[in-house]
Amino acid sequence: MKKLENRVAIITGGTAGIGAATAIKFAQEGATVVVWARNAERGNAFVETAKQQGLTIDFQPVDSSNYDAVTVAAKEVNEKYGKIDILINNAGITNDSTLKKMSVEQWQQVIDINLSGAFYCIKAISPYMLDKGYGRIVNTSSVVALYGNFGQTNYVATKAGLIGMTKTLAKELGRKGITVNAVAPGFIETDMVAKMPVEVLDGMRAKVPVGRLGQPEDIANAFLYLASDDASYVNGATLSVDGGMTI
């Protein structure tokens, strides 16, 4: 039996990079997958790409930093499929600058999407999980939440905040059949990272004990574990998937 057979999963930021790899992995493992993202053109293109692989994935154009939009979209998913079992909070952005140069707008934009957006999704979706007495919520943090990163005050604050929120909600929801965990990716070879200068990539790679950058599928595998019944006794954990960077 596939690991996510008969499960309904929502994946935010699910049309590219880690989110897309996770959507594909979950669909392969039997889940009904709905991806949320702001870019409708890219979302529809991703659905077509999945279809070419023999997979059916739904797409909804949702801005996770808009609570009303999230609430409406969650209701639509629940009405269509009768439940929501899994939420992967993966939507996130960077808008880097040193403290001296960072504007209030830069700070707020990242907070709104990375941190408030995750809260909004959990707030809107958890009632449907509570109705069924079952749920798997996984938040995407980052290794920079564990050791900081120059020029990323806003981003690091959101990723550290997600770890704290994960622990708190694990205590609140765990006894009700809903586990809440986080994954902290290290340097992952997404399209954005691949565009960096070779010397920068070499420097990043040199910091990783296993000697390579991570692949989106490495994170998708971690999400799959935490979203499955294999991890039914894992709650409030932050799983670092970083090749050993934080040792």
Residues 217-226: tens digit of each pLDDT: 999 999 999 9
Give the per-residue pLDDT at 54.
97
Helices within 152-215 (DSSP H only) = 153-173, 191-194, 198-206
Does 148 reside within a domain?
yes
Any domain includes 38: yes
* 215 within some domain: yes
Whether 195 has a pLDDT exceeding 80, the answer reads: no
Q: Which pair of structure tokens corresponds to residue 110?
A: 């990242």
> What integer is the mean pLDDT of 6-30?
97
Say yes or no to pLDDT of 203 above 90: no
- Which among 22, 92, 18, 17 is positioned nearest to 57, based on CA atoms? 22
Measured between alpha carbons, how far is 73 from 68 in angstroms, rounded to an integer?
9
Q: What residues have CB less than 8 Å from 120, skipping those under 6 apart?
A: 64, 65, 66, 67, 70
CA 91 to chain centre: 6
What pLDDT, on a 0 to 100 scale, did the predictor assign at position 191?
Answer: 78
User: Which one is catalytic: 134, 155, 225, 233?
Assistant: 155
| C-beta separation of 90 from 68 below 8 A | no
Q: Specify whether 155 is catalytic.
A: yes
List, for residues 30-59, the tens digit of each pLDDT value.
999 999 999 999 999 999 999 999 999 999
Angle, helix 117-132 to helix 67-81, in steps of 10 degrees: 30
Q: How many domains does the chain have?
A: 1
| Residue 100 placed within a domain | yes
The per-residue pLDDT for range 159-190, each reduced to its tens digit, is 999 999 999 999 999 999 999 999 999 999 98
Query: Is 165 within the bounds of a domain?
Result: yes
Residue 98 forms part of a structural domain:
yes
CATH of the domain at 63: 3.40.50.720
State the pTM of this model: 0.96
pLDDT at 155: 96
Main-chain phi, psi angles of 181, to 5 degrees: -135, 175
For residue 234, the model assigns a pLDDT of 98
CA distance 26 to 21: 9
Instruction: Say whether pLDDT at 200 is over 80.
Output: no
Two tokens at 143?
């290794």
The identity of residue 95, as a single letter, is N
Tokens describing residue 88? 């992967």
Tell whether 103 is covered by a domain: yes
Q: Where are the beta strands (DSSP E) in 38-74?
A: 57-61
Give the pLDDT score at 202. 86
Quick: pLDDT tens for 84-137: 999 999 999 999 999 999 999 999 999 999 999 999 999 999 999 999 999 999
Give me the domain span that covers residue 58.
Answer: 8-240
pLDDT average, residue stretch 149-155: 94
pLDDT higher than 90, residue 194? no
Residue 84 lies in a domain: yes
pLDDT at 247: 87
